[in-house]
Structure 1
Amino acid sequence: MDIKNKKILKSAKNFEQIYSISQSNRRSNKFNFLPNWLDKESNLFLEEVNHCKKSYYSFKRGALIFVDFGINIGSELSNRHWAVVLNKNDSPKSRNLTVLPISSKEKKFSVMIDEVIQQKSKRFLLPILDKVGFDYFSIIHYALTEITPFDLGSAKEIYQEFLIQYGDVYNSESAKKIYGNGAGMEKVENTTKKLKNLVNHYQRFNKISYAKCDQIKTISKDRIIYINELDPCGKLKVNNDTLDRIDTKLKELYLKD
């Protein structure tokens, strides 16, 4: 496609030059993500001009969300960071949120988050893992006892472990539904893959984090990143003590004595 608008053409050439320079001198890592961000931003603009209808979640004050802040100018925050939601009365109709970005580095105007994000995620991911284990056991046990016995091979050991763990709560009727005429195992495997992706994602955030109270921002909810539909992003939350300390720091920074 020929670019007819001269300013858009010039911008495209500038972006190409910026990316090329950044790859050669490696002075700023933020420009490594420039192509991905421009692609994402252009797609979001297309959705906007085409009036694509979207539904949004409602977030509680103190919720932790994973945000793509994009590529910004100078020392403005760029790229992907966790953030704390500050809104007191968010609604599904609201398209924006006011947030505090989170960093693993402590600064003068930062407030420590009460618990590492990886640890917070476990409260949501472990129940999913438990259900995957139960569904896997139910399918295997149902097939062995209700359909036809077969050699478990290398899966025998894990089956025996699950038998000890879930045998007392096994129910043949519910197992039949989980089995789903043979389609159940594929669902379990798909869920397992998604869960592994989430575990790998959250393992990266295993350090103490700090809310950057001098970097308060209002963002579009379209910037929030979900790894998949099982992602607890937005369900994780800082505790009330952390919110109180954030409030104190914000008053210190932005309000007169």
Structure 2
Amino acid sequence: MIKNFNKFLDDLIFEENEKSFLKADKISYWMEDWMNYLKLEESFECRRIPKLKRGSVVKVHLGFNIGKEEGGLHYAIVLDNNNALGHSLITIVPLTSVKPKTDLKNLYDNQLFIGDELYWSLINKATVMLNKLESFMNQEGISASNHLKIKKELDYTKRVINEINKMKKGSIVLMGQITTISKMRIYDPKNKFDVLNGVRVSNDILDKIDNKLHDFYLKKIKIVDK
């Protein structure tokens, strides 16, 4: 089995085209992450993940998937009404950003445009965090270990801001990709200091998601007078 897997990766690499090479690269990265998840499985404490409410925004690792299934790192919205700290699973719906070629007037039935509200919520919080971290970095007498830790958080916050800027034209909820995942897959927030901790979409957006869920998954009930 391992031999066949290695041969499959080698074949992708030797095809010498960018698409196949990127596919091999993604599979390799995901296999490494998957092994790390397996090592973490026994010691993982889901209670350390901050309390997540319906509408909370998270960044999750969906792995390497097939066909049109969403994979990789994705921002998502939590759908659980009441997810306890001790619950190891969580149900989310992934998001995607509006691309230059996206035709908002002709989205698929299982897609929901929610505007740029999320962009402004995230960019405002990330900018505040960035300013605080830069202020800490410039303080005198900071230890080398703390300086390194703050620099790491600063670099991550800058990367997040670059990601958030891709949402400037708005976000789309991928209603057809709702999935339940282990909290081990949560990349952010892992603690109360992370960028996404406490970030939620508005009740108006949640109402739109509820209506779309009803239209997409539930049959319309016709009431017949007796």
TM-score under structure 2 length normalisation: 0.75
Deviation at 1:85, TM superposition (A): 0.7
Instruction: Name the aligned partner's letter for residue 103 of structure 1.
Output: T
Alignment counterpart, residue 177 of structure 2, candidates 215, 219, 232: 215
Between 234-243 and 195-204, the greater mean CA deviation after superposition: 195-204
What do residues 73-114 of structure 1 show as CA deviations (whole Å, max 9, x unaligned)? 222222222111100111221121111111235432211224
Unaligned runs of 5+ in 1: 1-6, 140-178
Deviation at 1:32, TM superposition (A): 4.0
Alignment counterpart, residue 183 of structure 1, candidates 138, 142, 165: 142
Identity of aligned residues (%): 25
Instruction: Name the aligned partner's letter for residue 47 of structure 1.
Output: L
Written as runs of structure 1 = structure 2, the 5 A alignment for 1:2-151 is 7-21=1-15, 24=17, 26=19, 31-48=24-41, 51-54=42-45, 55-105=48-98, 106-115=107-116, 117-132=118-133, 139=139
Q: Does 1:255 align with 2:218?
A: yes
Deviation at 1:136, TM superposition (A): 6.7
Between 28-37 and 96-105, the greater mean CA deviation after superposition: 28-37
Change in Cα spacing, 1:224 to 1:53, as seen in structure 2 (3 Å) is: closer
Cα-Cα RMSD: 3.1
TM-score under structure 1 length normalisation: 0.67
Say if 1:69 and 1:81, in contact at 8 Å, map to a contact too: yes
What do residues 94-153 of structure 1 show as CA deviations (whole Å, max 9, x unaligned)? 12111111123543221122425442213322333443465577x4xxxxxxxxxxxxxx
Aligned positions, number: 206
User: Which is greater in Rg?
Assistant: 1
CA distance in structure 1 between the aligned counterparts of 2:129 and 2:71, rounded to whole angstroms: 32
Instruction: Name the aligned partner's letter for residue 183 of structure 1.
Output: I
CA distance in structure 1 between the aligned counterparts of 2:178 and 2:157, rounded to whole angstroms: 32
Aligned-partner SS, 2:177: coil
Aligned to 1:158: none
Aligned-partner SS, 1:204: helix
Say if 1:62 and 1:238, in contact at 8 Å, map to a contact too: yes
Aligned to 2:101: none
Deviation at 1:61, TM superposition (A): 0.6
Q: Does 1:196 align with 2:158?
A: yes
Say if 1:81 and 1:102, in contact at 8 Å, map to a contact too: yes
